[in-house]
Amino acid sequence: MNKIILALDEPLDYKILKDISSQVAGIKIGWPLILEQGLEGIKNILKNFDNNIIFDLKLADIDSTMIKITTHLKNLGDSFIVHAFVGYNESIRELKEFLDKENKKMYLVSSMSHKGWNDNFYPYIKEVIKMTNPYGLVAPATRPKILKTVKKDFPEKIIISPGIGAQGAKIGDALCNGANYEIIGRSIYNSKDPIGTILEFQKIQEERLNECKRAETR
C-alpha cells in the first residue's frame, strides 16, 4: 500500500531519501525546506524522486503573482497547493488556466488541520472549488466531520490529508474518512528509522482500511 505523501519540512540524508522514494506516493515540499536548502538544494533532493512532487507554498495572491511564483518552480514539480479563500476571478481562475497549459496539477485547501481554522467559511470555499475544478483537495485528518463532508461534496477529487501523528490524528483514519493519501511529516523525518517507520505506517494503513471497510459492510 502506497498511500503516504511525505511532508519533507526538514532535510533527510540523501541515501535515506533515495530508499524512501519508492516507498511513498509522493513528496510535499514547502517553505521550510525551500528556505533552508535554496532552489539548488531542492533540485538535488528532487533528483531522488520521479513523480508526484507537490509544492506546498499555500499560494494566496492575485493571479499574476501566483503565476510568477509557479513559473519559477514548474520544471521541478507536478503540483501546487493553493488556498481557495482568495476567490476565483483574477486569482485562482487565471492560475488554473496557466497550470493546465503547463500540464501541472492544482490542489485547493478545503479546510485546515489546526484548531484555529474556521469551517464556517466552507460554503464559500466549496463554491470556489466548484468553479475551479482542481485536480485535488487538501482536507484535515484531525477533523473527520469536515473531511467526510469534503469527500461527499467532491467524491471524484483526490483528497490529501495532513494532521496525522504529530497533530493527533491516527494513521489510517483519514483514509477511512475519505482521503486518498495521508500527508505525514514529523512522525517520519524525526524518527530514528524513517524507512522502517514508513513500512510500519503502511501496514497500519492497510489494517485500518480493512477494518473500516468491514465495519461499513456490517
**Ramachandran area for residue 34 (φ above 0: left; ψ -120 to 50: alpha; else beta):** alpha
203: part of which helix (H) or strand (E)? helix 194-217
Q: Which of 26, 134, 136, 140 binds ligand BMP (CB under 6 A)?
A: 140
Question: Rounded distance, CA 195 to CA 114, Å?
Answer: 27
Question: Distance of alpha carbon 52 from its chain centroid, rounded?
Answer: 10
141 binds ligand BMP (CB under 6 A): no
Site residues (CB under 6 A) for ligand BMP, limited to 62-121: 112-113
CB of 31 to ligand BMP, least distance (A): 8
| Cβ 111 to ligand BMP shortest distance, Å | 7
Which of residues 162 and 172 has its CB atom nearest to ligand BMP in the complex?
162
Q: Grid coordinates 533540485 are at which residue? A: 43
Angle, helices 14-21/194-217, rounded to nearest 10 degrees: 30
Q: Which residues contact 126 (CB under 8 A, 6 or more apart)?
A: 110, 153
> From residue 184 to residue 203, what is the string marking binding to ligand BMP with x (rule CB under 6 A)?
xxxx----------------
The answer to whether 172 is annotated as binding is: yes
How is residue 182 written as a grid cell?
A: 495521508
* In the block, residue with C-alpha cell 477511512: 176
Residue 166 annotated as part of some ligand binding site: yes
Q: Which residues are catalytic?
A: 56, 58, 61
163-182 footprint of ligand BMP as x/- string (CB under 6 A)? xxxxx---------------
In the list 49, 56, 106, 172, the residue contacting ligand BMP (rule: CB under 6 A) is 56
Nearer to ligand BMP, 99 or 169 (CB): 169
